[in-house]
Amino acid sequence: MSSNIEWVHCNKCLHLTKHEILKEHNCEDKDKYLDFVIWWNTKYTLFICCGCESVTLRRQYTCSEWESNQQEIEFYPPQVSRRLPQWQDKLPVEMQDLLAEVYIALHSNSRRLALMGARTVIDMFILDKIGDIGTFEEKLKKLVDGGYLGSKQRDILKVVLDAGSAAAHRGYNPSPEDLNHVIDVVESLLQFYIFEVQSNSVKVKIPPRARRTN
């Protein structure tokens, strides 16, 4: 492979793709401490995806006091593993806004904020669909009774909301994998808004039954 090509995650293609290096720049500095010289280096690399032509910047920072292969690596914009669902613009406006904020937190790796936001989305869904009634357990039961949740989904949702509460009150920081499960649950719930729109649209198109004349 050419030396100016690297495999890098692409935020648009959503997987590793070949990237061409457009520009590299090193910022080096050093200082003397007693008889030692300490140095640190920040390397910036500007890439373009060979597939979709998205451009991304990588920052690599290392220091002489670290292990030989130790370095900080950051990407701008941050690397993402999922995008806002295409149907998000069919959601109620306040849900769209909140979901967009959850994704901003996801993309900046602010996992606690993303989890707290996910919990708020679910709370808003419950308030919208069944109202502010009873305990949380009772609300979940109402969601199951109303056909919004299966009993297994209810169990997942309980874990999700407990996790969201733990993020808010006890500093719990979910792993990227756990957070992805949470977002899966949130999105499956929100899709009820889309199903309702589709169902109403189908109902409008179905011709009424002909009235019997005899």
β-sheet with 36-49: strand ranges across: 5-10, 15-33, 36-49, 55-63, 72-76
Rounded CA separation 190/143 (Å): 13
Residue with smaller CB distance to Zn ion, 51 or 92: 51
To Zn ion, the closest distance from the beta carbon of 202 in angstroms equals: 37
Distance CA 75, CA 110 (A): 14
Smallest separation (angstroms) from Zn ion to the CB of 81: 14
The separation between CA 167 and the C-alpha centre of its own chain, rounded to angstroms, equals: 16
The residue among 51 and 146 lying less far from Zn ion, judged by its C-beta, is 51
Residues 6+ apart with CB under 8 A from 207: none
Least CB distance to Zn ion at residue 19 (A)? 8
78: which residues sit within 8 A by CB, 6+ positions away? 107, 108, 109
Q: Would you say 17 or 45 has its CB closer to Zn ion?
A: 17
Decide whether 86 or 175 has the Cβ nearer to Zn ion. 86
Q: Are 142 and 133 in contact (CB under 8 A)?
A: yes
Interface contacts to Zn ion, rule CB under 5 A: 10, 12-13, 17, 49, 51-52, 54
Write down the least CB distance from residue 83 to Zn ion, Å.
13
User: CB of residue 53 vs Zn ion: minimum separation in angstroms?
Assistant: 7
Task: Name the residue nearer to Zn ion (CB basis): 13 or 37.
Answer: 13
Question: Strand, helix or coil at 135?
Answer: coil
How near is the Cβ of 167 to Zn ion at its closest, in Å?
A: 32
- Residue 28 exposed, middle or buried by CB count within 10 Å (0-12, 13-18, 19+): exposed
Nearer to Zn ion, 50 or 159 (CB): 50
